[in-house]
Amino acid sequence: MSDFDLDLRGAEEYLDTDDIEGNVILGILDGSTPPGEWTAAVEGGSVLFLAIEGDLNQLAAGFARDIRDMGGELMHFRRFLVVAPPGVSIDTDRLS
């Protein structure tokens, strides 16, 4: 095997990380959080992972259309709603 010299510390300076913003927010979708707060979090670049407690259609009605209109994605996965901002796709390839 040949020698392979890779300086990962030196490579960090070439990575474009300035565009990465936001967090992964874990929460409960039960109607107690105003829809505007969920929308603002996604607009800020955060991904939402929300445990659904109640009727999903009713609980997400206040922000789902706004998320889709801005180019974000929503996906119901088991008992959770995953909401991604524009530019972040929800990959479901491993679910099949």
Q: Using one digit for the tens of pLDDT, what is the confidence trace for 52-81?
A: 999 999 999 999 999 999 999 999 999 999
The token pair at 4 is 């392979």
pLDDT reported for residue 42: 97
Residue 63 lies in a domain: yes
Residue 13 lies in a domain: no
Count of domains observed in the chain: 1
Residue 3 lies in a domain: no
Provide the percentage of residues in the chain whose pLDDT is more than 90.
75
**Average pLDDT, stretch 1-25?**
68
**Three-state DSSP string of the chain:** CCCCCCCHHHHHHHCCCCCCCCCEEEEEECCCCCHHHHHHHHHCCCEEEEEECCCHHHHHCCCHHHHHHCCCEEEEECCEEEEECCCCCCCCHHHC
CATH of the domain at 32: 3.30.110.150
Q: What is the pTM of this model?
A: 0.79
pLDDT reported for residue 4: 61
Alpha-carbon span 24 to 22, nearest angstrom: 7
The token pair at 27 is 């929460």
pLDDT-derived band at 21, boundaries 50, 70, 90: confident
pLDDT reported for residue 36: 97
Residue 69 lies in a domain: yes
Alpha-carbon span 8 to 60, nearest angstrom: 43
**Average pLDDT, stretch 25-44?**
97
Structural domain for 25, as ranges: 21-90
Residue 2 lies in a domain: no
